[in-house]
Amino acid sequence: MNVIIEPERKTPVLTVVDVVVVGGGSAGLVAALAARRAGADVLLIERHGYLGGLLTGGFVTKPQAPVVGGIPEELFERAIRLGGARGNTRYRLRNGTYTYFMSPIDPETMKRVAFECVDEAGVKLLLHSLVVDSVTEGDDVKGVLVENKSGRQAIMADVVVDASGDADVAASAGAPYEVGRRKDGVAQPMSMMFRMGRVDVNVLVQYAKNHLDDFTFTYYPNVEGQIPEKSQSLNIVLEGFMSLQQKASDELGYESPRVGLNIKAGIGIGDVFVNATRITEGVATNIQDLTDAEVQVRTQVQECVTFLRTYVPGFKDSYLLDTPTEIGVRESRRIIGEYTLTLKDILHRRKFDDVVAKGYGVIDIHEPGGRRLRFDAIEEYQIPYRCLLPKKINRLLVAGRCVSCDHEVLGTIRTIPTCMYTGQAAGVAAALSVKYNTTPRNLNVKALQKSLIKQKVVLFESVLKRMKTHT
Ligand SMILES: Cc1cc2nc3c(=O)[nH]c(=O)nc-3n(C[C@H](O)[C@H](O)[C@H](O)COP(=O)(O)OP(=O)(O)OC[C@H]3O[C@@H](n4cnc5c(N)ncnc54)[C@H](O)[C@@H]3O)c2cc1C
C-alpha cells in the first residue's frame, strides 16, 4: 500500500476522567449511567448527534428479549410512561409455543429518555466525536483520541469501556479479536430497516390471522375483527410472508434478499418498520465494503417497497416514510476475551461463578452469505465477567455486541436488552476498578456482583420469575 508519513503533532488533552465510555448505543448508554451511579466521573463519547445507536437511529425497534431489572428496566419504564413502549410482551412462535420480548418501541421517545437520563445522572457527554485511536502505554490503555469539528483531542481515563459495537478501541490498542464464522470468517449480513407510512394495519393483521403457517412469529394482542385504531401503536409484530415472496418471485422474478421479512407497528397509526434487506458481501469495518453496502441496500429498500405495495395486504396505499442515518451492522469484530462464551455453554445453561449479566429470548442468526434465518427460542443463560475482558490489554472493558463469544452465541448476545446488561456490568466494573485503585482484570468479582445487585440487576434469580407483567 502507498503511504505518507504524517508529521509528529501535539494533541490537546480535552479532559481527564475516571471512566470513558466509547459509543452511546444500547450498551454504552447503560454503561455510562451505571459507572456514574457507582461513583465514577464519566464521559460518554458518541459519533452521532443522538444516543441509542441501532435502537434509535437504526430503527431497530424490537428489543428481542424481556427487560427485567437494572438500568434497562428503568429506561423502558420511562419510555412506557411517555407512551413510547408497552412493556414485556408474549410472542407466539410458529410451533405454537411462546417466548417473551420487550414490545416495539418508539425511537424518538428512546432518544429523549436517553438524553434525560444522562443529564440527570451527571454523565458528561461528547457528541459528534469519532474515536479514532487509543492512547496506550505498553499494554495499558490510558485514553482515546477523538476527531470532531474542533479538531483532534485526547481524553485520558483510568478505565475505558469500548461499546462501539465494532470494538474500535480494543482493535486499535492491539487486543485480539475475531470476525464471523470460525470456518470462513463470514459474518451475519448487514441490513437497513425502513419505515412505511399509511399502511392499513387492520388488513395486514387479518391476513396474518388467516395464514398463521406463513409466519415464523407473531404478536397482535386484543385483535378480534377490526382493531381499535389506537391499539395499533407499538402493538404488532409479524415475521414471515414467505408465500407472498414466492408469489412475487414466480410472477415478477423478484428475489427477496432474505427468506421472510419482519414488520412491526410504529407509534403512529399506519406506521410500520420493516426489516427485509440484506447485504451478504463485505466486511463492516472495511470502509469501501461499507460504502458499497450503503449504496446497494438503499436500492434493496426501493425494490422491497414495490414488493410490499404490490403483494402484501394493507400496503396498497403506503409510502416510504424514512430510512435510518446508516446501514445496520449485525456482526463485526468480537474480542477474544479471558473467556469465550460458546453455544454449548448457553444451550446447557452453564453456571459461572463470575456471572455479571444474563441473556434470554432467542438465537437469531441471519445466514452469513445467504437468505435464510435461524430463529430458535432459548432459555435464560449466564454471561461471565471474563467475556468483557480482552486478552492482553489492560484497563479496558468491552460491552455490547463485540464481547467475547462464538459466532452462534452472537446470535443472541447481540439482542438489545442483553447488550444493555453487559453494558451495566462493564460500567460498574469500570467504576469499581477506579474506586479500589485496581484494574478491571484484578477486580474482586464478588464486589462487582454485589454492586450490580444493588443496581437491581437480576443475577442469581430467574428472569422469568422476576418479570412483573407482560401483555
Ligand atoms: C438490521 C438489524 C436488525 C436487528 N434486529 C434486532 C431486533 O429485532 N432485536 C434486537 O434486540 N436486536 C436486533 N438487532 C441487533 C441489535 O440492534 C444490536 O446488536 C445492538 O443494538 C447493538 O448494541 P451496541 O450498543 O453494542 O451497538 P450500537 O447500537 O451499534 O451502538 C454503538 C454506538 O457506538 C457509536 N460508535 C461506533 N463507533 C464509534 C467510534 N469509533 N467513535 C464514537 N462512537 C462510535 C455508534 O454511533 C453507536 O451509537 C438488529 C441489528 C440489525 C443491524
Domain 13-81+107-182+332-466: give its CATH architecture. Answer: 3-Layer(bba) Sandwich (3.50)
For residue 117 and ligand 1, the question of a CB distance below 6 A is answered with no
- Predicted confidence at residue 470, as pLDDT, reads 80
Joined together, the cell numbers standing for residue 236 give 404488532
Residue with cell 404490490: 310
| Span from the CA of 65 to the centroid of ligand 1 (angstroms) | 15
Closest CA to 159 of 393, 444, 450: 393
- Predicted confidence at residue 351, as pLDDT, reads 98
For residue 64 and ligand 1, the question of a CB distance below 6 A is answered with yes
Q: Is there a contact between 325 and 25 (Cβ–Cβ < 8 Å)?
A: no
For residue 73 and ligand 1, the question of a CB distance below 6 A is answered with no
Kindly report the pTM of this predicted structure. Answer: 0.98
| Span from the CA of 165 to the centroid of ligand 1 (angstroms) | 6
| Span from the CA of 113 to the centroid of ligand 1 (angstroms) | 17
Under DSSP, the state recorded for 56 is: T
For residue 54 and ligand 1, the question of a CB distance below 6 A is answered with yes
Joined together, the cell numbers standing for residue 32 give 455510562
The domain locations on the chain are 13-81+107-182+332-466, 193-322
pLDDT per residue, tens digit, the chain (471 aa), is: 899 999 999 999 999 999 999 999 999 999 999 999 999 999 999 999 999 999 999 999 999 999 999 999 999 999 999 999 999 999 988 888 889 999 999 999 999 999 999 999 999 999 999 999 999 999 999 999 999 999 999 999 999 999 999 999 999 999 999 999 999 999 999 999 999 999 999 899 999 999 999 999 999 876 555 555 667 789 999 999 999 999 999 999 999 999 999 999 999 999 999 999 999 999 999 999 999 999 999 999 999 999 999 999 999 999 999 999 999 999 999 999 999 999 999 999 999 999 999 999 999 999 999 999 999 999 999 999 999 999 999 999 999 999 999 999 999 999 999 999 999 999 999 999 999 999 999 999 999 999 999 999 999 999 989 997 788
For residue 104 and ligand 1, the question of a CB distance below 6 A is answered with no
Sign of the torsion formed by the C-alpha atoms of 220, 106, 383 and 344: positive
The gap between the terminal CA atoms of the chain, to the nearest Å, is: 57
- Predicted confidence at residue 62, as pLDDT, reads 96
Closest CA to 21 of 10, 12, 30: 30
| Span from the CA of 322 to the centroid of ligand 1 (angstroms) | 19
Joined together, the cell numbers standing for residue 377 give 427460542
- Predicted confidence at residue 232, as pLDDT, reads 79
For residue 223 and ligand 1, the question of a CB distance below 6 A is answered with no
Pairing of strands 261-265, 237-240: antiparallel
pLDDT digits (tens, 9 = 90+) for 160-210: 999 999 999 999 999 999 999 999 999 999 999 999 999 999 899 999 999
What's the CA dihedral at 351, 353, 357, 361 to 10 degrees? 0
pLDDT digits (tens, 9 = 90+) for 268-295: 999 999 999 999 999 999 999 999 999 9
Q: Kindly report the backbone phi and psi dihedral angles of residue 459, in degrees, each rounded to the nearest multiple of 5, phi listed first.
A: -110, -45
For residue 362 and ligand 1, the question of a CB distance below 6 A is answered with no
